[in-house]
Amino acid sequence: MPIHDEEAFELLTIARVSLLIKEPFFGVLAMNLDLVEVDSKTAEKMTTAAVDGRRIWYNPAFIKTLTPDELKFLVAHEVLHCVYSHLGRRFDRDPKIYNMAADFVINAILKEAGFSLPKICLYKEEYLNWITEDVYDDLIEKNTKPQQTIQ
């Protein structure tokens, strides 16, 4: 896939290398995910970043709004979606609510590990040590509406 925004690609590359040095668990796994810039049409719908198990898809405009620490968080966040097999565990659950549940779990783990959470991040301390399916059930029980988040 072509890279049109060299700056965004470089920022993500620096974040991955930084993770290799400071957080090797995340760094090694991140290096196994290809970085794919979304095209301008897709960027209208996918305003942040997402992972599909093999690639990190990213909106360059969003990437350039993040600090270096927030970029490391973003990469580690996407890695944990893969580690926890969130793509394969959703089954027939609502995809947006399930992604929110997964994000709450991942973000609580990353905050506990000392990562800097971006402003757009979904976070509730109460979800630390919960599993995604239990958070999903809690969100459904509370009739939570989907929110834009890093995917």
**Rounded average pLDDT over 55-83:** 97
Q: What pairs with residue 50 in β-bridges?
A: 57
Q: Token digits for 39?
A: 């095209």
10-43 pLDDT per residue, tens = 999 999 999 999 999 999 999 999 999 999 888 8
The residue whose two tokens read 């305003």 is: 47
Q: Token digits for 143?
A: 């009739």
Q: What pairs with residue 34 in β-bridges?
A: 55
Higher-confidence residue of 59 and 4: namely: 59
Cα separation, 95 vs 8, whole angstroms = 27
86-127 pLDDT per residue, tens = 989 999 999 999 999 999 999 999 999 999 998 888 999 999
Is the confidence at residue 140, as pLDDT, over 80?
yes
Q: Token digits for 100?
A: 């929110």
